[in-house]
């Protein structure tokens, strides 16, 4: 499988644009150039409950807020402030209230995307704020990666990092050094991985040792050295178990 985050924020090749759904979670948020590009590219945008507060506060001006109106707000709405709910209601943005205690606001957003006829079944999903804020929320987002269907790529983002799940098999990760890296890692979050090999990293994995917590974990790795003029780095991973790829993002 091929992974290329930069393709989600680019309009350069209109014929190969990847369908995109964007979720904003209730976590610390800055309106970065990456966020702006994702927003412009997304065919559907959802605020997960208090995620609406985060966008409202981050923009700080009603004229700016009008440029970032979501398709809908989803969740049990226990975190959505009354003033924020009223402001979006005035702009005809619906709030879908769902009190199912067996799913989180993140999962409720994914369920809405799954049933939206305007979203392709092959669409990528990007969850902004999934790697920010409380540690238990971050770990829940990692768990959602494992629960997500294999045919729908899911990217977790913060201001500083991106993460996604590499399922068993072969993967090619194409990184644009203008927005990604050089620091990266392969994390066996969920279960030990007995055999994993990589290319394109400063310290490649060669399957001689399993990767697991309590043993070898590839953190603070980096792209292999390449000429500075080369803007893309290609990393390949062949794994017999699920492993999380993470890479730093440049502001």
pTM: 0.93
Question: Can you give the pLDDT at residue 15?
Answer: 44
pLDDT of residue 16: 53
Upper half-sphere CA count for residue 21 (Cβ side, 13 Å)? 27
* Residue extents of the structural domains in the chain: 2-159, 166-249
pLDDT at 108: 97
Mean pLDDT (10-residue bins), the chain, 251 residues: 89 64 95 92 96 96 96 96 97 94 94 87 92 95 95 94 97 94 96 95 92 94 83 95 96 68
For residue 73, which of 45, 101, 115 has the smallest C-alpha distance? 45
Class level of CATH domain 2-159: alpha beta
102 Cβ contact list (under 8 Å, min separation 6): none
Rounded Cα distance between 57 and 73, Å, is: 15
Asked if residue 236 lies in contact with residue 199, where contact means CB atoms within 8 angstroms, the answer is: yes
Provide the pLDDT for residue 229.
66
pLDDT at 79: 96
Pick the CATH number of 166-249 from 2.40.10.10, 3.40.10.10, 3.40.309.10, 2.60.120.320: 2.60.120.320
């Amino acid at each position: 499988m091929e992974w290329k985050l930069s393709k989600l924020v680019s309009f350069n090749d209109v014929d190969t644009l990847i369908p995109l759904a964007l979720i904003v979670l209730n976590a610390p948020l800055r309106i970065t150039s990456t966020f702006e590009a994702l927003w412009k590219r997304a065919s559907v945008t959802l605020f997960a409950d208090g995620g609406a507060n985060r966008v409202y506060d981050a923009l700080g001006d009603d004229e700016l807020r009008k440029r970032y109106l979501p398709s809908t707000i989803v969740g049990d709405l226990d975190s959505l402030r009354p003033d924020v709910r009223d402001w979006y209601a005035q702009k005809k943005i619906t709030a879908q209230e769902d009190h199912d205690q067996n799913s989180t606001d993140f999962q409720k957003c994914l369920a809405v995307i799954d049933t939206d006829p305007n979203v392709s079944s092959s669409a990528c999903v990007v969850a902004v704020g999934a790697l920010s804020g409380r540690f238990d929320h971050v770990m829940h987002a990692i768990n959602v990666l494992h629960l997500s269907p294999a045919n729908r790529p899911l990217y977790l983002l913060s201001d500083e990092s991106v993460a996604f799940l590499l399922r068993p098999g072969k993967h090619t990760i194409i990184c644009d050094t203008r927005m990604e890296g050089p620091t990266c890692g392969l994390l066996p979050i969920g279960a030990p991985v007995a055999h994993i090999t990589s290319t394109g990293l400063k310290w490649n994995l060669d399957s001689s040792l399993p990767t697991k917590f309590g043993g070898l974990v590839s953190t603070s790795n980096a792209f292999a050295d390449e000429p500075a003029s080369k803007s893309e780095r290609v990393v390949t991973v062949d794994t017999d178990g699920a492993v999380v790829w993470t890479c730093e993002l440049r502001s």
